[in-house]
């Protein structure tokens, strides 16, 4: 108790001085003039009913540098293109929050509720069934409900190109990949990658080995974590020890551990990034990114919100991002542009055209299926869903026929 009494005056002085300094700072900062009130600014410029797009993140949060942040970027892009569109998001701290977050947006009468990630599937399904007049979109899942628009990606196609590129670029003739968790949105990258390497081996009569994923057995290396960089790093270190010189981590933030290690190794091996162009989303490691298997979630959500605004979004259908509609793609080579042989670049471009034309079929057990509602509307060809990366205007609905 005596301590209290002894300490109190000193603490009081300190408090006064902190307040005084703080006050000075505030006074210096706070001397500006308030802007003149401008009431005319508030009126909506465009006519018509405003559209409210609402997004619920999964537990990754809005700044996950992966599909949550991409999806939100797309929503914002839709809002900036059309002043009639307003967008909001809510983050889920745990899986228990999915349903209340969806319900909160239902009670706000959102025009479109965008749910992110397959693990939100059950909650979205329950909410969509309970509110048949509410429109939903879900990324990375396929819900055959009349009021849900399913946004999926055939990432295996772009992964195939990455596998071919890696096999052609590898000097040690060993490449590797690993995943975050064994779920289809992850393994589909790895399936495509493995097939791309196999295709290279077949065409070139080469023997490039793939570590970390066995497509036939659907088994391989996983960090079981999307954020722990150390886990990513220890996996890739093991691959490097086995001779791998191109590594594709499909593990979100955990993959950054591999990128950092590659940078420290001074170009001993390179990394193929996923989801968003690595030279944009993790620019500090651009020097080690051979390329990126891009999944254009942003364009897809932007299109979904724009279509909702235009009144053309059809529930019960969906879009599947492919190489043909730029829903998935191989990013530019950036720093590696001069290092990748021109011949290999041409081959990769040719391969892309072959996949688009259907001359080469990329298959994966994790490949998305178009949603099938009832009997009649189950006709969404993978290439029919246009997700143009440039235009934000309303996209013709995939099930126009």
Partner 1 sequence: MTEPGGGSSPDKDTAGEAELTRDQNRTDAPGVPAPGAPAGRQAAEPAGGTGPEEPTGSVTQRFGRTVLDSILSANTVTVTVLAIFIALVVGAILIVVSNPTLTSEYGYFFGAPGTVLADSWSVVAAAYANLFKGAVFDPATVSGAINGTNSWSQAFAPLSETLTYTAPLVFTGLAVALAFRGGLFNIGAQGQAIIGAIGGAVIGFDLPLPYGLHVIVALLGAAAGGALWAFIAGALKARSGAHEVIVTIMLNNVATLLLGWLIVQKGVHDPTRTDAISKNVDKTAKLPTIPGVDHNIVRVHLGIVLGVLAALGIAWLLQRSTIGFRLRAVGANPAAARTAGMSVGGAYVLVMVLSGALAGLGGGMQVLGTTASSLTAQVTANIGFDGITVALLGRGKPWGVVASALLFGALHAGGNRMQSFSHVAIDLVFLVQAVIVIFIAAPALVKAIFRLRAARSGGTPTTLAKGW
Residue 32 near partner 1 by CB under 8 A:
yes
- Closest to partner 1 by CB, 103 vs 326, is 103
22 is an interface residue for partner 1 by CB under 8 A: no
DSSP reduced 3-state for 281:
helix
194 and 167 in contact (C-beta within 8 Å)? no
Which span (30-38, 148-156, 239-247, 262-270) binds partner 1, by CB under 8 A?
A: 30-38
**b (16+ CB within 10 A) / e for 316-334:** bbbbbbbbbbbbbbbbebb
Is 105 a residue that touches partner 1 (CB under 8 A)?
yes
Q: Does 41 bind partner 1 (CB under 8 A)?
A: no
| Least separation in angstroms between CB 24 and partner 1 | 12
Contact between 369 and 142 (Cβ < 8 Å): yes
Structure tokens at 161: 């190109």
294 neighbors 122 (Cβ within 8 angstroms):
no
Going by C-alpha positions, the residue among 328, 155, 186, 164 that lies closest to residue 255 is 186
Q: Does 9 bind partner 1 (CB under 8 A)?
A: no
Q: Is 109 in the site for partner 1 (CB under 8 A)?
A: no
358 binds partner 1 (CB under 8 A): no
- Report the DSSP pairing between strands 246-250 and 213-214: unpaired
- CA-CA-CA-CA torsion sign (42, 136, 294, 273): positive
Quick note: the x/- pattern for partner 1 over 53-92, rule CB under 8 A, is ------x----------------------------x-xx-
Are the CB atoms for 370 and 382 separated by under 8 Å?
A: yes
CB 59 within 8 A of CB 94: yes
> Is position 263 an interface residue for partner 1 (rule: CB under 8 A)?
no
Choosing from 27, 40, 43, 216, the residue that interacts with partner 1 (CB under 8 A) is 27
Query: Which range touches partner 1 (CB under 8 A), out of 29-37, 248-256, 314-322, 375-383?
Result: 29-37
Per DSSP bridges, beta strands 213-214 and 219-220 are antiparallel
366 counts as binding partner 1 under rule CB under 8 A: yes
Applying CB under 8 A, the span of 168-176, 180-188, 329-337, 354-362 interacting with partner 1 comes to 180-188
Determine how many CB atoms are found less than 10 A away from the CB of residue 111.
Answer: 19
- Look-up of token digits 């886990």: 231
Binding of residue 119 to partner 1 (CB under 8 A): yes
Looking at the DSSP bridge assignments, the partners of residue 210 are: 175
**Residue 50 binds to partner 1 (criterion: CB under 8 A):** no
Query: Of these, 2, 9, 10, 30, which contacts partner 1 (CB under 8 A)?
Result: 30
Options 73, 81, 84, 126; binder of partner 1; rule CB under 8 A: 126
The sign of the CA dihedral 252, 276, 151, 351 is: negative
| Smallest separation, CB 247 to partner 1 (Å) | 22
Is 17 one of the binding residues for partner 1 (CB under 8 A)? no
**Cβ neighbours of 228 (radius 10 Å):** 17
Question: What are the residues binding partner 1 (CB under 8 A)?
Answer: 1, 4, 8, 11, 26-27, 29-35, 59, 88, 90-91, 93-97, 99-101, 103-105, 107-108, 118-119, 122, 126-127, 130, 181-185, 187, 224, 365-366
């Amino acid at each position: 108790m005596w301590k209290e009494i002894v300490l109190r005056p000193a603490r009081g002085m300190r408090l006064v001085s902190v307040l005084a300094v703080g006050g000075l700072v505030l006074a210096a900062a706070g001397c500006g003039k308030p802007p003149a009130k401008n009431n005319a600014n508030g009126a909506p410029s465009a006519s018509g009913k405003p559209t409210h797009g609402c997004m619920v993140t999964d537990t990754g949060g809005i700044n996950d540098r992966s599909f949550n942040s991409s999806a939100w970027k797309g929503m914002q892009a839709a809002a900036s293109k059309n002043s009639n569109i307003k967008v909001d998001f809510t983050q889920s701290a745990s899986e228990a929050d999915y349903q209340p977050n969806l319900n909160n947006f239902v009670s706000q009468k959102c025009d479109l509720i965008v749910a992110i990630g397959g693990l939100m599937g059950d909650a979205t399904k329950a909410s969509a069934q309970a509110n048949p007049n509410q429109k939903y979109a879900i990324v990375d899942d396929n819900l055959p409900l009349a009021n849900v628009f399913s946004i999926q990606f055939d990432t295996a196609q772009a992964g195939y190109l990455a596998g071919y590129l890696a096999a052609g670029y590898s000097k040690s003739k060993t490449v590797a990949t690993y995943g975050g968790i064994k779920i289809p949105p992850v393994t589909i990258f790895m399936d495509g990658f493995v097939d791309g390497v196999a295709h290279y081996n077949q065409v070139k009569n080469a023997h490039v080995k793939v570590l970390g994923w066995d497509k036939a057995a659907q088994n391989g290396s996983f960090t079981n974590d999307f954020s722990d960089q150390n886990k990513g790093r220890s996996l890739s270190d093991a691959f490097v020890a086995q001779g791998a010189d191109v590594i594709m981590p499909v593990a979100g933030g955990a993959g950054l551990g591999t990128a950092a290690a590659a940078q420290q190794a001074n170009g001993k091996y390179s990394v193929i990034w996923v989801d968003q162009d690595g030279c944009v989303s993790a620019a500090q490691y651009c020097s080690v990114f051979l390329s990126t298997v891009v999944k254009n979630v942003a364009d897809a959500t932007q299109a979904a919100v724009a279509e909702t605004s235009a009144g053309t979004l059809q529930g019960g259908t969906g879009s599947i991002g492919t190489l043909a509609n730029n829903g998935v793609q191989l990013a530019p080579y950036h720093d590696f542009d001069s290092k990748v042989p021109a011949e290999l670049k041409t081959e990769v471009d040719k391969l892309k055209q072959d996949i688009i034309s259907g001359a080469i079929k990329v298959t994966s057990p994790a490949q998305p299926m178009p949603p099938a509602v009832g009997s009649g509307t189950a006709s969404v060809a993978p290439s029919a869903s246009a997700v143009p990366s440039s235009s934000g205007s309303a996209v013709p609905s995939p099930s126009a026929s």
